[in-house]
Chains A and B, each alone.
Chain A
Amino acid sequence: DAGVTQSPTHLIKTRGQQVTLRCSPKSGHDTVSWYQQALGQGPQFIFQYYEEEERQRGNFPDRFSGHQFPNYSSELNVNALLLGDSALYLCASSLRGVRGRETQYFGPGTRLLVL
């Protein structure tokens, strides 16, 4: 049973560029959430996608946007990159609305470095 996968594993960009990160959920899951983990800190919730719509959003600017595809996979896009966007970006998947199955399972993350 494949777990949550993310690509790429590492990425280096320069300020002002745009980046797209990808996530494939665990088999059977329909909901994808994205988190940003800065060095030495706990993950911070960015947003969650279900049925191809953004359902919840954390305190992040609209430079951060996302998409969910019919196969439940998801993309995170960040425009106009800032140095402060350097972080580990984590994707988590879950099964919505099924009591006891909503637990979020995390992928290995994409480490983004902005120079």
Chain B
Amino acid sequence: AQSVTQLDSHVSVSEGTPVLLRCNYSSSYSPSLFWYVQHPNKGLQLLLKYTSAATLVKGINGFEAEFKKSETSFHLTKPSAHMSDAAEYFCVVSDTPGGGNKLTFGTGTQLKVEL
């Protein structure tokens, strides 16, 4: 069985400061891991994905995540937050290398960005 745990339900940062959204995973296989973002009343947008290549993954809008097998973590970071980053972020695990099958979502982290 596979699962993800997002350690913070809400994160608040000031514009221009770093962002850290934490995620731990559990998987019987070598997992594929993803971060998706959901803006209010919108669908889910893929930010980045890890599929057993480089452990440091760069995504869109300046986000990146590092796969750490020893810590079973896949934390999402961004050096400098922007107001437009305010949204719900989901850490996701898949039991297939590319994420083509069932995706298992975390409970989400609501990111608030303040002036």
- List residues of chain A with CB under 8 Å of any chain B CB: 4, 31, 33, 35, 41-45, 48, 55-56, 58, 90, 92, 94-97, 99-109
Contacts and interface: CB of A to CB of B under 8 A. Distances in A.
B57 interface: no
Interface stretch (B14-22, B42-50, B59-67, B77-85): B42-50
Contacts of B105: 35, 42-44
Contacts of B103: 33, 35, 43, 45, 92, 104
A42 B43 contact: no
A108 B99 CA distance: 19
A99 B43 contact: no
Interface of B: 34, 36, 42-46, 49, 51, 90, 96-108
Given A35-B103, A42-B107, A104-B99, 17 more contacts: A35-B105, A42-B90, A43-B90, A44-B105, A55-B101, A58-B102, A92-B44, A92-B103, A94-B100, A97-B100, A99-B97, A99-B98, A100-B98, A102-B97, A102-B99, A103-B34, A103-B98
A67 B112 CA distance: 39
Given A41-B107, A42-B107, A105 B46 contact: yes
A24 to B, nearest CB: 13
A51 to B, nearest CB: 13
A96 B100 contact: yes
A90 B38 CA distance: 12
18 contacts: A41-B108, A42-B107, A43-B44, A44-B105, A45-B102, A45-B103, A48-B102, A58-B102, A90-B44, A92-B44, A92-B103, A94-B100, A100-B51, A102-B96, A102-B100, A103-B34, A104-B100, A109-B43
Of A42, A92, A109, most B-chain CB atoms within 10 Å:
A42
B44 A45 contact: no
Nearest to B9: A40
Nearest to B49: A103
Contacts of B36: 106
A45 B100 contact: no
